[in-house]
Amino acid sequence: MNFSVEFPKNIITGNSPNELTEHFVDYLELFLKKRLLETVPKPIGLATGRTMIPIYKSLVERLLSWPTANLKKLLDGWTSFNLDEYVGLSDEHKGSFKNYMRKHFGDPIGLDFDKIRIPDSLAKKPQDEAFEYSKDIEKSGGIGLQILGLGSNGHVGFNEPPCSFKCSCRVETLSLSTRRQNAFAFDNDIKSVPKSAITLGLKEILASDEIHLIVTGSEKIKIFEDLLNSSCSPRLPASWLRLHPKVYIWADENLF
């Protein structure tokens, strides 16, 4: 891999998080329209978290306005892989990412939920599940477009610092800051947030054709500044995105 001196090559801003959402959904909708023309389209890499909720809401509204035949073709050919899932939560648990994806995306557009691939949170051997999940992505042709959020400690997916770009899909112990950041889905009770999760590694993320990092919120100002001004470092997992030739960063102007 070659180090990208100019990073990011593509940065898109919005005057507000809402405006940024619409800019990104413009891009994503056009990507999905082009995907309809592909004979064997690659899977899409999906993310969760508070940043993604308005994005899924807007995307669902757009997709439901499509001609019926086009929407059916999109849904029939849909394959996506989520970045991560907590270990030990049932599919129905309100804090699970399966429940999140069903609520915010799958059910509203009538998508067969089997087409949204998410690690099995109740697997008896989570590390084996992580290995098989990575293999399933590889067998499916790899990720075409990967969506990411930025954690307050610089994580992408659940790749906690320190982290190498060679790390593959695995079971990761979650930091206190990450559990605190995700407590909103557990009635703000950090004790209810699982302590580990299955996550795609930087290895799978960097193998994607294109990567889209979406950053909003004043609490991300410091880590976003660090990302833009740092070199690649295990201490800042998102910094490894510098190794990829096609990274788009979507950021609201309040971060600058």
* Distance of alpha carbon 219 from alpha carbon 114, whole angstroms: 35
Does the annotation mark 160 as catalytic? Answer: yes
Q: Tokens standing for 247?
A: 């990274």
Does the annotation mark 155 as catalytic? Answer: yes
SS (H, E, C) 91-130: CCCCCCHHHHHHHHHHHHHCCCHHHEECCCCCCCCHHHHH
Does the annotation mark 107 as catalytic? Answer: no
* Distance of alpha carbon 92 from alpha carbon 34, whole angstroms: 34
DSSP class of residue 174 equals P
User: Which one of the listed residues 160, 172, 204, 252 is annotated catalytic?
Assistant: 160
By the 8 A CB rule, do 116 and 84 touch?
Answer: no
Strands 145-149 and 84-86: unpaired
By the 8 A CB rule, do 25 and 57 touch?
Answer: no
Does the annotation mark 129 as catalytic? Answer: no
* Distance of alpha carbon 98 from alpha carbon 103, whole angstroms: 9
Q: Tokens standing for 31?
A: 């990507």
User: Which one of the listed residues 99, 136, 153, 210 is annotated catalytic?
Assistant: 153
User: Which one of the listed residues 82, 129, 155, 204 is annotated catalytic?
Assistant: 155
Rg (alpha carbons) of the chain, rounded to whole number? 17
- So which residues are the catalytic ones? 84, 153, 155, 160
